[in-house]
Structure 1
Amino acid sequence: MADDNKPLLIKRYASRRLYNTETSDYVTLEDIAGFIRSGREVQIIDLKSGDDLTRQYLLQIIAEHESRGENVLPVGVLNELVRSYMVPGGGMMPQFLQSSFDMLRENQAKMMKNMTAMNPMAKMPGFEALQAQQEAFLKAMTGAWAGSSGPEKEAAEEENGEDLDEIKRQLAELNSKLSKLK
């Protein structure tokens, strides 16, 4: 059985085909996007040189979705990314994006907990099944953030009713930071 904590190793052969080392079969970019949406980390290595190509392929997945008319990133964010690479040292954009995604993941876990705690239907028979279905839906829609496990989920489970105010404060803070970037 695969260890979901370590990245799924994908090898790129000289023919540019991608090989899943866990299932011993070839995969496409769409397959890799599916692994990521399900919450799995991937690492793509060039078989001959040993170079890590993960970043290149992840950007290619985003570019393909954009070319199909799926607006993955707003134009303003794309402009800021390009600008950040023009600044010596890469600027603060990579750290800001990582912090923003970490905060989003944490807030989604808190929101799920609060929705359950404040829901009067929580005492009804069958509510757990409904909740599991809702979490599966959110997991599919958000790339497994809502149903994540580990430190983020454990921290969210320890929080109480003050979480909603904290989430609102953090979202306002994030909006303020995004406004300054424009």
Structure 2
Amino acid sequence: MADDKKPLLIKRYASRRLYNTETSDYVTLEDIAAFIRDGREVQIVDLKTGDDLTRQYLLQIIAEHESRGENVLPVDVLTDLVRSYTTSAQSVVPQFLAASFEMLRDGQSKLMEQWSHLPNPMASMPGFDALQRQQQAFLKSIMGGFAGSSGPAPEADEEEAPKAKAKAAPAADDDLAAIKKQLADLQAKLSKL
């Protein structure tokens, strides 16, 4: 467990290859993104100069996801970020973004905790457990992109998962639409700030 607290050290060689010092093998940007989604802190340093390149590579990971159509950052937010580099707001923006994401993580954690303690009359319904595991996995996948996310781990039974997925598809679509609306509302509020 102590290793999870210490950042995973990735060294960049002169050839620009990235070397995982824990496993003694080369990694890709996608591997680094997977480490982060799993909750690991990552530090990328240049082997020769010792310069910390973490920020540069994290921005590159975000840019690659955005260019593949996995749009998380609305154009308004990106525009405001660009503006913040040329204004006096530059000093406030990092703290604001960090506080916003911390609030989002805390909210998700509290929501999952509340759901786990609520008595549920549907719990006696056949197949409910599989449906609940699928919903938890869905929430974790959505929040998985945020470092430190504390969503529950999926525990789907391999035989029940396809049946539950087929039954839960309409409910999942409704849930997804509601979540997208909530995210859009949150983005609108952040843009106003």
TM-score using structure 2 length: 0.69
Q: What amino acid is aligned across from residue 94 of structure 1 in structure 2?
A: P
Deviation at 1:87, TM superposition (A): 1.5
1:97-141: CA deviations, max 9, x gaps? 1000000000101111111222415975x9888766654543333
| Structure 2 unmatched ranges of 5 or more | 153-182
Equivalence map 1:73-88=2 (5 Å)? 73-88=73-88
Contact 2:143–2:151 (CA under 8 A) maintained in structure 1: no
Q: How many residues align structurally?
A: 158
Give the match's secondary structure for 1:4. Answer: helix
Q: Which residue matches 2:190?
A: 178
What's the % identity of the aligned pairs? 70
Give the match's secondary structure for 1:26. Answer: strand
Contact 1:66–1:72 (CA under 8 A) maintained in structure 2: yes
Computed over aligned residues only, the root mean square deviation of the Cα atoms, in angstroms, reads: 3.0
Contact 2:108–2:151 (CA under 8 A) maintained in structure 1: no
Q: Which residue matches 1:38?
A: 38
Q: 1:118 to 1:2 in 2, by over 3 A?
A: closer
The answer as to 2:151 corresponding to 1:147 is yes
Q: What amino acid is aligned across from residue 54 of structure 2 in structure 1?
A: T
Give the match's secondary structure for 1:44. Answer: strand
TM-score using structure 1 length: 0.73
**Inter-partner Cα distance in structure 1 for 2:62 and 2:188:** 26
**Inter-partner Cα distance in structure 1 for 2:129 and 2:3:** 27
**Inter-partner Cα distance in structure 2 for 1:146 and 1:119:** 22
**Inter-partner Cα distance in structure 2 for 1:135 and 1:4:** 23
**Inter-partner Cα distance in structure 1 for 2:188 and 2:29:** 35
Q: What amino acid is aligned across from residue 20 of structure 2 in structure 1?
A: N
